[in-house]
Structure 1
Amino acid sequence: MSAPAPPAPAAPPPPKKDTLTIVFDGKPIEVPPGINLIEAAKLAGIEIPHFCFHPRLSVVGQCRMCLVEIEGIPKIQAACTTPIKDGLAVKTTTQKVRESRAANMEFLLINHPLDCPICDQAGECKLQDNAFGYGEQRSRYDERKRQYAGYDRTAIGPHVVADMTRCIQCTRCIRFCQEIAGTGELTFLDRGGRTLVWTHDGKPLANDWSACAADVCPVGALTTKEFRFRRRVWDLKKTPSVCPGCNIGCNISIEDRDSVVYRFLPRLNPAVNDYWLCDYGRFLSESLNAREISKATVREGSDVRDAIVPAAVERIASEIRSTIETDGPSAIFFLGSAHLSNEENFLLRKIADHIGCGNRDVVVDRSRVRRMKSKTEWIEGDHAGANYAGARDMGLSPGPGGHGLTDVLEGRWIPQIVVVADASFAAAADDAEKVGRLRGARFLAVAARTANSLTRAADVVLPAASLAQKEGSFTNVQGRVQWFQRAFLPPPPARAHWELLLLLGVALGWGDRNWTPAAVRTQIREEVEGYDEVTEQELAGGGLMKKGLFVSTGAV
């Protein structure tokens, strides 16, 4: 008799899941652990209305707008304070939920002024959105509304205006100042029905990120005075960009209308500035509207005359060619800028390479140390330009035997021709002594948008575009390459710096007039070490850390 067959091996245990299954309104979805029901619902395409919750602030469950039904729990629960677990079944559209939201909205609107037509928050107000989406379209309240005499339309800092008649006491601004800024200027005053948010002992809300308190305010209680009553937000076009203020490279949205920039807002990038933006960078928005150089000019002896851009570029190319013939390319100096994109600095370096010139450089002014909170850490930057690291990566440093800007400014070398790609490259451009050193050259050419000592001394001035009028990429202090897009075209005959440099390159026998910044980035990937993986897809997705991180200072 044969031996019995061995038992079949046990089935292997199922692989351990790294997600949790949550059922929203009968629809199961997989979500990562460590989030709350509001965030989980968003992944399912379901919006749970809320006021007090913010992804980067502590959870307080204060507004009671996010109530939902959970199977197995008799009372409705606040979604922001409910931790998730596997198999949780949540209902967001039941009669009980709808009635609770409507009742909550009714209470919030009892004392809220009906001033949406004149409120600067209209169009991006969560109270307005939730009142239309979840409230009753009628009011049963006919008593006198609560007023805060002396606490309405009042500046509480250099940038923020408060109006406590609109406050719903969600505490977002208080928590931002305590948990993110770490300065704690805001607090509750008084008690009960007279409670209001104000500054401690009347001290101003003056931290480096004070306008973020207005950003997190879901209503019109805190607004920024620089933008108040300038434009309705639904009129504004939003363009992804990068802050030009320093080398942290905060992601921003440029908001414009009719070729006028009205404001910068922070654009979410958890790896850089998360939801935040410092006041210094935010209020540089107005500087993009400055335009003092509107035509190309060419100096003939003591006379300065207007010229068309191609003719002015040809004048620069002619001077370069004649100098190469008489003194060689070593008599020419090219100066890039930390304010220009990687593409523009790359083009300048390629022009120098084409004529065999090793005299090229880029410098940046030092600013005070600026700090920005990413999702996981504080990032610091101390450059007054956004792209010094990228300009150096593109090859803008003296070649073997070449000269840099310091040699010129200290009088150790006098070039015959100086080509400055950005007339606002540093504070030295408005220093009479240093401009005099640059003017010691036989011929000085610059591209500029605003006038300064350097443009007034130049032989040729080309009208250039602002950050909002061109596209390109910057490399920040982390070594992260980030893309900024064009919001609108520059007014003719002004052109983007990369277009002006391409015109010069073509006039000197290099380059293709049909190249675009994307085509230049293709060359950068092929030629510049560390940039080979910085694809268009990566840039569109928020940027990529390049290999062989370059972190340096080049202050003058």
Structure 2
Amino acid sequence: MRKLTIDGREIEVAEGTTVIAAARALGIDIPHFCWHPELSVAANCRMCLVEVEKQPKLQPSCQLEAADGMVVHTDTPKVREARRAMMEYLLLNHPVDCPICDQAGECKLQDYYMLYDLKASRLWSEEGKVRKRKRAIFGPHVIYDAERCVMCTRCVRFCAEVVRDPVLIEVHRGDHSEIAVAPGRTLDHAYSLMTAHVCPVGALTSRDFRFQCRVWFLASTPTICPGCATGCNAFLDHHRGEAFRLRPRENPALNRSWLCDDGVLAFRLHNDHRLTAPELGRGDDARPVAWDEALAEAATLLRKVPKTQRAAVLSAEHSCEENWALAAFAREALGVERFFVTGRTAGTADDLLRHADKNPNRAGVRSMLGAEPEPLERLVDEATAGSIRGAVALGAAAATQGPAAAAGLLRLEALVSIAPRRGPLPEAAHVRLPSPSFAETAGTYVNARGQAQEFPQAMSPRGEALEVPDLLARLARRLDLGLPFRSAADVRAAVAPRLPRPAAEGGAP
């Protein structure tokens, strides 16, 4: 261990810890562009210079390892003057794009200018500025503005070190330097949007988020990525009921500081194809109705099906609380003995973050049911054969697709769908009951490691959507049947002992 003093405060850190990391542990923010805790040290931006007693020159704190007895000062006049000079150099050719730049409001260059520079440029003419590429398409998700780039090389190191795909390179020299895509390549790997995330300025931006919303309008809520079974910790940024992006939330034990592109874009599960009111009718014949009419029709259809021919479909997309509520309703109110599970179909996996199971809570479904649910394919087969005639289904996705699956679902005489958005299951249903999206309800997912992770509600349910426990309680009353829960609090209390160990919590924004 090494004991040092930073701005009058003592701290003991492990051998090999850098001064900037030690300061961060004390809550002292040393300005930086190129340093990132998950990447190698570049020491090229020179913004993190600090004064160390008994050292003749300022030292880059990102590169300087802590030593016993070291005394560090991070905010002396000498340090501030060095940072001011560095800012003047960086801003010499920088465009005045802040009013149209997506990074405005969360830009380190903007913040440090207000702290250290606050002076007009000494460059005598705008014509003397070095001109570079302004809208270079690097890949399907990322666009590059070379004039805004401070050449911190975070993006280059991220691709080479984390993704192990050195698709980004440095080209040219001096103030003509810029980032480029390697010849014959495109920035299209599964983590390309993280290059925009690690960019401290507005050089690399998301083509999806570009010009969509000013960041100071966005509220940020900690959540769990709904994109796959890894369960990455994330922040959901939203405004007036619409989700705009997911950002990684630091969790060293799980996703570190990263999200895959599918995870970043998983906010679309909240925005797209939403069901906002109850509907009756299948396919194109569906029409919106009042809740009372929808619940009455659902109750009538379910009563016509014998208990032995009823089933429940749980959802690997939905929370433990929603799945437990449906399982309890199906057992107690409908007498169901057959439980199936659906969700999004399997996809691509890798050894970094992506899991082949594209559902966040398949393990949670097993925990809530206390057994392995049957696959949806079996329900389709039995519906086709006529041995199952009615079902209540949670979720929009159908794990089995194609003409045969659709025909099998259409053979059901009573299919009641509870879902936040349109999809194969709601389209085949006689009654569609809108529920909240992952962003509109609080709950728990259990990831592929068996870790339970809670997430809070970020927004109010859209339209007439009802929380699943409330919706099921109303349907049970229509059926003149009782339930083992009366409120969401009852559901949480019942779910808690069925959950595996909790996962470590993620960090702050």
Alignment TM-score, normalising by the size of structure 1: 0.84
Cross-structure match for 1:230: 212
Cross-structure match for 1:195: 177
Q: Please give the alpha-carbon distance, in whole angstroms, between the structure 2 residues aligned to 1:153 and 1:175.
A: 22
Mapped contact 1:505–1:511 kept (Cα < 8 A) = no
Deviation per residue, 1:125-153 (Å, 9 max, x gap) = 1111111112243332224443344x221
> Shift of the alpha carbon at 1:393?
1.6
Q: Please give the alpha-carbon distance, in whole angstroms, between the structure 1 residues aligned to 2:134 and 2:400.
A: 41
- Relative to structure 1, the CA distance from residue 249 to residue 404 in structure 2 (aligned partners, 3 Å threshold; closer, same or farther) is closer
Cross-structure match for 2:361: 387
> Shift of the alpha carbon at 1:396?
6.9
Q: Please give the alpha-carbon distance, in whole angstroms, between the structure 2 residues aligned to 1:242 and 1:502.
A: 27
> Shift of the alpha carbon at 1:501?
3.1
Q: Please give the alpha-carbon distance, in whole angstroms, between the structure 2 residues aligned to 1:120 and 1:441.
A: 50
Q: Please give the alpha-carbon distance, in whole angstroms, between the structure 1 residues aligned to 2:482 and 2:100.
A: 58
Cross-structure match for 1:515: 488
Cross-structure match for 2:148: 166
- Which of 417, 424, 434 is matched with 2:397 structurally? 424
Mapped contact 1:177–1:185 kept (Cα < 8 A) = yes
State, as a whole percentage, how many aligned pairs show the same letter.
Answer: 36
> Shift of the alpha carbon at 1:213?
0.7
Count, aligned residues:
500
Q: Which runs of 5+ in 1 are unaligned?
A: 1-18, 373-377, 544-556
Cross-structure match for 1:460: 431
User: What code does the residue aligned with 1:220 have?
Assistant: G
Cross-structure match for 1:14: none
**Cα RMSD between the aligned structures?**
2.6
Q: Please give the alpha-carbon distance, in whole angstroms, between the structure 2 residues aligned to 1:449 and 1:380.
A: 24
Q: Match of 1:483, SS?
A: strand
Mapped contact 1:148–1:165 kept (Cα < 8 A) = yes
User: What code does the residue aligned with 1:244 have?
Assistant: P
> Shift of the alpha carbon at 1:280?
1.8
Q: Match of 2:495, SS?
A: helix
Q: Please give the alpha-carbon distance, in whole angstroms, between the structure 2 residues aligned to 1:408 and 1:52.
A: 54
Deviation per residue, 1:135-176 (Å, 9 max, x gap) = 243332224443344x22121111111111111111111101
> Shift of the alpha carbon at 1:388?
1.1
Mapped contact 1:414–1:440 kept (Cα < 8 A) = no
Cross-structure match for 2:129: 146
User: What code does the residue aligned with 1:383 have?
Assistant: D
Q: 1:276 aligned to 2:258?
A: yes
Q: Please give the alpha-carbon distance, in whole angstroms, between the structure 2 residues aligned to 1:299 and 1:195.
A: 61
> Shift of the alpha carbon at 1:365?
4.6
> Shift of the alpha carbon at 1:271?
1.8
Cross-structure match for 1:106: 88
Mapped contact 2:170–2:179 kept (Cα < 8 A) = yes
Deviation per residue, 1:364-415 (Å, 9 max, x gap) = 454333336xxxxx3451112221111122117578xxx7634332245522
Matches within 5 A, 1:86-125: 86-125=68-107
User: What code does the residue aligned with 2:395 have?
Assistant: D
Q: Please give the alpha-carbon distance, in whole angstroms, between the structure 1 residues aligned to 2:184 and 2:272.
A: 36
User: What code does the residue aligned with 2:325 have?
Assistant: L
Deviation per residue, 1:25-74 (Å, 9 max, x gap) = 22223344442111111222221111110000000111111111111211
Q: Which runs of 5+ in 2 are unaligned?
A: none
> Shift of the alpha carbon at 1:246?
1.4
- Which of 11, 23, 26 is matched with 1:44 structurally? 26
> Shift of the alpha carbon at 1:22?
1.9
Q: Please give the alpha-carbon distance, in whole angstroms, between the structure 1 residues aligned to 2:49 and 2:142.
A: 32
Q: Which moves more between the two structures, 252-261 or 313-322?
A: 313-322
Q: 1:489 aligned to 2:452?
A: no
Cross-structure match for 1:221: 203
- Relative to structure 1, the CA distance from residue 193 to residue 292 in structure 2 (aligned partners, 3 Å threshold; closer, same or farther) is closer
- Which of 352, 357, 374 is matched with 2:336 structurally? 357
> Shift of the alpha carbon at 1:345?
0.9
